[in-house]
Every structure is written in C-alpha cells, then in structure tokens.
Chain A
C-alpha cells in the first residue's frame, strides 16, 4: 500500500507522456498532479502526525512544481514526441516526487534510506538537465557527495539494527518506528555511533556544512522548479530523516552526544552559510546558501531539543519549505524574463514576488520564519546553549545582510526594467500562481500554532520530544 501511494506521481507522469496533443497533455498533467497530491492524504490515514505534516509539504510543493514546470520548462520546447527531453523531464520529476513521498510515508529506517537514496537517481539527471558543462559538473558533485553521505547513513542504519536486535526486537521489525518507540533499553555506545552516522549521513542530503558543497552548484544549475523541490522538499525530507533519528535514539535513554553533535553542526552550518551568502552575486546560489543556513537552524533546534526546540524545528521546516519554494519559483520567473542567473535580477511582477520571498527568508514578520527563529532562540537560551546560539546568531545576521543587499538590487532592477517586460510574459501565469501560492502558505505558517494544523504540529512535537 505504501509503495503504491508513493509510486503514484511517477505512474501519473508516465501516463501523461504518450499524449501527442500539447494542450491535452498539459491539462492532463495538471489533473494528474492534483490527484497525486491528494491521494497520499486520503489513502494513508495510518500515518503518524509527523509523517502527515511532511506528506502535506511534499504533496503541495510537488503539485506547485509541476504547475511551475509547465510554464518555465515546457515553454522552452515545442511539444515534440513522447520521448523528447521535456517528457523525460516530467518523468524524472514524477520519480523525484515519488521518492520523496516514499521517505515520508515509510514506516522504517530501511524504507527512509531507500527513498532518500532513490532521490539521487532522479535528481542527478534533473540537476544536469540544462546539459551544459557546468550543469553536468554540478550533477557529478551532487552524485559523489550525496552517495558518500548515503553510504554513511546506511552504516548507521545497520548498526542501529544491530543494537535493536541486541535489545530483543525481532530482526524483521528492528528498524520500524512503531517497534523502536516501545523499546526501553540501557544507554549504549553502539547507538551513539549509529545515530551519529545516520544524522551526519542524512544531513549531507540536507546540505549541512561542511558537507554542503553539492548544494549551491546543484541548485544553481537545476531548472527553477527542481531547485524549489530540492530546497523546499528534498532538504525537508532529509531533515525528517534526522528527526526520526533523534526519535530513535530516545529509547536508549542518553542522547546527549547526538544532541551536542546536532547543535554544533547546525550552528556551524548557519555561520558558514551566512558568510558565503555575503559574497554571492548569483541569485540561485544566494538562495541555495540560504537553504544551508535554514537547514542549519533546523538541525540546531533539534540539537537543543525539548518541547520548545522541537516545536521550533518543525515550524521552521514548514515555513522554510514554502518560503524557499516560493523564492525559487519567483527566481524562475525572473530568470526567464531576464534570461540569466546573475546580477540585475529583476523583472516587474517577478521582482515583487522575489522581494516578498527575501522578506520571508530574512525572517521578517508576518512570515512563519520570524516566529520559528524566535522560538529557536528561546529554546537555546532555555537550554543554556548560548555559545552555539551566539555562533548561529552571527550567521543569521550575515544572512540577513546578504538578503537585504539582494533586495535592494532587485528593487533597483525593477525600476530600470519595468518597461522592458517581454511580450510573452503572460505565458508564465501558472509559474506565477505557484510562486504566489507557496509564498501565501509561507505567510500562513506564522498562524499555524492556532489552527487545526497547529494541533497536528503539537501532537508531532509530543512524539519527538518525549
């Protein structure tokens, strides 16, 4: 059942491919993407609250990325046969969506590992989709670093299975959340090593420094909707795996080592990303380093732990997923209208969206990241983690300065190029809709704690911060 739900986006992408009529194919892709987004929520009621939150993120952003792709990628090629590059693009997009869905509907670490590993299969080709030299080089770097990270995570998963079997769990259930949650065992150095390897391995896929080198290149060279999925969803899925790792360490009692590792990894990541954001002049690379910063904040919050820290981490993941995807969708519009990924980033409508996205990513109110960053700081102070908080705080300040500078450039570009809009800008309506929807959801993230989704969030926090 889980595999069938996860396979839907890929199957639907394949179904739409043979249609020859371009308009019919476009309409069918929209309908099937909507179905693929709705199906997991309706067909998987057995999922726990944490998984449901991430299923929502994957489904909404998978659908919006498909909409955005119909404008930003498909418009560059005129139909063509069903084996054309554009058809392959949509099949790979479906495969990517399916792999991420598998990560969040999985019930055990074995399936999570398999899903995270499967994302590499689809995305390596999507990163290299542009086909130019730099895109292929970016895909290579992505493959090597992520494969290494995944191998490290597999070693951790194997050692965790060994610890679970030693603690009396039957081999067939050694990696299932449900069984691990019922376990009560003595602190074990083997579990410390296993969870540390898993956290570091999965964090590679989240772009945590110093294992982040693949992320800026991959995000900069991938088509904008894929960058949105990489930043908004793939990174979120990797962080979901880190959250499950933290949860898995709890039955053995002493998880202080894992928490300390995550706190410092997160703080270091925020600082590195903040410094590097200051020197970026390429729009998509700037957004990519911003992803490293925000992934660092989530890992830092998970390391700080406690109810407040975990609440902040979850809220931050949700808000960041929508804010960053909105930013990449808007960046796609800007780059389509300006035609390059460097300097003078603005076009009129897209420029306004980009300004909104910068405000969201900079943590300004009323966007969700404002709320979550305050919670993270509060959680760190409450836990007495002021040293890593200071390191992370400096990184956040640098990142804010870089985004503020970029916003000034966008604003200047908007005025200069307001009269130069391309005649076919109207063709990007779906992409604009996707960007607007993602940014609206990013705004709503701030009121999450007071909504029904907020109650779901609270249940998930209880599970993670026992």
Chain B
C-alpha cells in the first residue's frame, strides 16, 4: 500500500475513533486537500476547468471548514461529538471496516479500478461517523467525509471528467455545509439540544 493510501486510511480511522470535533474537522480538511491534489493532476489548462477547480477547492478545503470552525467557536458544547459506543468498540468497527474495504476491492464491478479499497474505506468511515456519534455536527462531518470519498471515486474512475466531478462534489459540500450550518444555528438559537436523540421525537 502506498504512503498516500496509508495516509487516507489513517485519516478515515481517525474520524471514526475520535470524538473531538476540531480533530475530526482537521482530518476532513487533510482528506479533502489530498483529493483536490489528485484532481489537480487531471485538470486541463483551460480557464473554465481551472476556475471550477479553484472554486470547488476553495469551498471544500477553506470555506466549509471555516464555517464549521466559526460554529464551534460560538458553540463550545458542540466540540464533543458524543460517541454512541465506547472506544474499544469503535476500534473494532474500524477493523471491520478495513476488512470490508479489502473485500470491496475484489468485487467484480470494481475490478481494474485503482485504490478501490481506500475509497470504500473512506466511504464506510463517513457512514460510520454518521451512525456512531450522536450530535448533529457529527452528521454534518460524516456527510462531508462521504462526499470526499465520492469525489475520490470520481477522480479515480473517471479522470477524464474532473470538472463534472468537482462541480458535483463542490455543490454537495455547499448544500450540506451551508444549509446544515444555517439549521444548526437555528437549533442552537432555540436552545435545542444538538444531540440527535433529542431530535427523534418526530419519528413516525
């Protein structure tokens, strides 16, 4: 496994195991920056492609993390992502995800595509972050990690379409982060708990 793949796996594991929002956010930023660097290789020289790439990178690597940091400064209670299961169990989950990702690499549809085990691992880590932590901020970070995995898959599977993949992923980040932060702010202003258990009263 290359150094890049190992780094991506380490970042994925961190977002599942850690419960501090700032560290998980930092892991997401590094992950998004890695993916942007991979895309940069395939971006053609024309102005539209470069402009889209710059805009998408700015949104994913700078604007979204800044927005979340701003929210964290105003809501210190959101720093704890409130793990739903204890640390040893989260470590076991990470090991299971590694096994699942290795199995995904051998699936017939993905045969021949590079780094599919890493993509699958990052994707599963994003979903695990959504499921194993109980705050709405963990939901938001989980969606961003899932978005990074999808972008990575786009870069690896369809390198001829970097602009389309970037535009899609950037729009996803835009919707998730800024609508999400607006709703988080509304929840906080109303004095509502940021724990998802408190949000389940509507379930029918």
Contact = CB atoms under 8 A, between A and B. Distances in A.
Interface of A: 110, 113-114, 117-118, 120-121, 124-125, 128, 131, 133-134, 136-141, 143-144, 147-148, 150-151, 154-155, 157-159, 161-162, 165, 171, 174-175, 188-190, 192-194, 213, 216-217, 220-221, 276, 280, 285, 289
B179 A125 contact: yes
Contacts of A134: 201-202
B175 A189 contact: no
B190 A136 contact: yes
A141 B158 CA distance: 31
B13 to A, nearest CB: 20
Contact of A143 (B127, B150, B176): B176
B154 interface: yes
B169 to A, nearest CB: 7
B172 to A, nearest CB: 6
Interface residues of B, number: 43
A290 B202 CA distance: 18
A interface: dominant SS = helix
Contacts of B147: 151
Contacts of B167: 114
23 contacts: A110-B164, A114-B168, A124-B183, A125-B179, A134-B201, A136-B186, A137-B187, A137-B201, A144-B139, A147-B176, A148-B127, A148-B146, A150-B172, A154-B172, A158-B165, A159-B153, A165-B158, A171-B161, A189-B109, A192-B109, A193-B107, A193-B109, A220-B202
Contact of B187 (A121, A140, A161, A175): A140
B188 to A, nearest CB: 10
A243 B113 CA distance: 28
A308 B154 CA distance: 36
B183 A136 contact: yes
A98 to B, nearest CB: 15
A154 B166 CA distance: 11
Contact of B153 (A110, A120, A158): A158
B202 A141 contact: yes
A285 B127 CA distance: 28
A141 B199 CA distance: 9
Contact of A276 (B175, B186, B190, B204): B204
Given A133-B190, A193-B109, A143 B180 contact: yes
Nearest to A280: B204
A148 B204 contact: no
B146 A128 contact: no
A393 B89 CA distance: 42
Contact of A128 (B143, B154, B186): B186
